[in-house]
Amino acid sequence: MTSPFDLSSLTARQVRDGFIAGEFSAREVAESAFVRIEALDGEVHAFLQLTPELAFDAADRVDTARACGEQLPPLAGVPAGIKDNMNLIGTRTTCASRILAEYESVYDCTAVRRLLDAGALPVGKCNMDEFAFGSSTENSAYGPTHNPWDLERVPGGSSGGSAACVAAGMASISLGSDTGGSIRQPGALTGTVGLKPTYGRVSRYGVVAFGSSLDQIGPFGKTVDDVALVLEAIAGADAMDATSSREPVEPYTGALGRGAQGLRVGVVRDMLETEGCGEEIRRVVDSAAETFAALGAEVGDVDLPNAAHGLAAYYIIGPAEASSNLARFDGIRYGYRAADADDVLDLYMRSRADGFGPETIRRVMLGTYALSAGYYDAYYGQAQKARTRIIEDFRAAFEHFDVLLTPTTPEVAFRFGEKVDDPYTMYLNDYYTIPVNLAGNCAVSVPSGLCSTTGMPMGLQIIGDYFAESTLLRAAAAFEEATCFEPVPPLVRRLTGDRGGE
């Protein structure tokens, strides 16, 4: 198989527009994607399962529709990766866990189905931290994903495979899930745009639950426009998910060209002094504030005084919900089942001990303890009170500002093994993103340049009010256009000879 063009140089919109204009067929796009995957994924390991039959079937459908003169869907011919905690008939959904190694999807995740109905080509299921428990994709039972910017460094997590496949040009877009930062954090570490919509904006039906009050599906893309296109396709109410919102889906791409003039932009100063935040990361926010001011925005400082308690609250609430959600994986109904068990209790214990990895076991135990008699009020109850205070802080901030600015992460991508034996420093990677999940707001990470000492990408987090994705994406697009940062990982430059981004 040969590639008719370099997919990595095209955004999702460029792929779609080129296909509609007849510059290439959807089948050629799919072929190009798999050529790149064959060339790069041996080093990156972004995918757990490739789905060429599904991709080429989808390509043939939109090629036929174009030949017949039919109206083409908004993502026609765009190759997409799908995080492996989302069900899609014809694929395994393993959650990167041994316990679900052979589980085959028997129904479709609503967001995935909407993505494919919009004309996207599903090229594969993406690697992740097991059950989305992690910030580095080192917790996958099938080996880690490598960052295309430096193969010795992590891509972030838990949606590391979804971020890496877009960064490396193996797919134009992808879907991830974000419980405490699992879209925005890997977006920042791989130089991609990662969007966490408002809780309820996108149906969670068909995604294997981690924290049911925290999880949200969202897109990765090369540009803000890419993620806006995907959000238009996947957002909206779903009868299969009672927590999905009936708020109207706006034409998010229509807001992107309005600039930042008149926007009220708040810089969250108190969060910049967190432990472990590098000086260059702090300057990302100061530089962004200057950029927005130059674009005509009203820029001021704001504090979120209770956000500092977000990390502690999250690591009680998240594991508690995970403990409940993962109780179904017992070796009886489906999934891995231990052999030679003495009785049903022994079967449960052996199946879960053998099937779950260390981080999954750690979080289940933490959550079970927090929910246990005698400790519920002291831990889970107090964490929920802290969550309420964080919600109130955001509510007060958005009375004065349209969007808020923080770093996405306190540091750039770290090397493999640096934090695996120190859960606390690992968990600190989500310090800036976790409060948004606790409150349920929308937020996006946008590339903001390369670190001068490591050459690794850095990300700016822009936070919006509930269901204010149009305003959020408007601000992100204005920043993106003003900074003109188009990151190209060394792995991609090596393959294509492109020196962009240097």
Phi then psi for residue 459, to 5 deg, are -125, 145
In 3D space, the residue among 190, 200, 196, 180 whose CA is nearest the CA of residue 129 turns out to be 180
Among 159, 182, 351, 445, the one annotated catalytic: 182
Q: Which token pair is 341?
A: 């068990």
Longest dimension (CA), the chain: 71
| AA identity, residue 91 | T
Q: At 104, is the secondary structure helix, strand, or coil?
A: strand
Three state DSSP letters for 355-418? HCCHHHHHHHHHHHHHHCCCCCHHHHHHHHHHHHHHHHHHHHHCCCCCEEEEECCCCCCCECCC
Residue given tokens 């490739």 in the structure block: 50
Alpha carbon 35 to its chain's center:
24
419 in active site: no
Q: How far apart are alpha carbons 402 and 249 in whole angstroms?
A: 19
Q: How many Å apart are CA 67 and CA 59, to the nearest integer?
A: 12
Residue 174 annotated to the active site: no
The catalytic position among 8, 83, 162, 222 is 83
Is residue 182 part of the annotated active site? The answer reads yes
Quote the CA–CA distance of 77 and 116 in Å, as a whole number: 10
Instruction: Report in angstroms the alpha-carbon separations of 449 from 138, 174, 202, 455.
Output: 25, 22, 30, 9
Closest CA to 291 of 486, 501, 476, 487: 476
The residue from 135, 158, 172, 244 that is catalytic is 158
CA–CA gap between residue 186 and residue 420 (Å, rounded): 17
By annotation, the residues acting in catalysis are 83, 158, 182
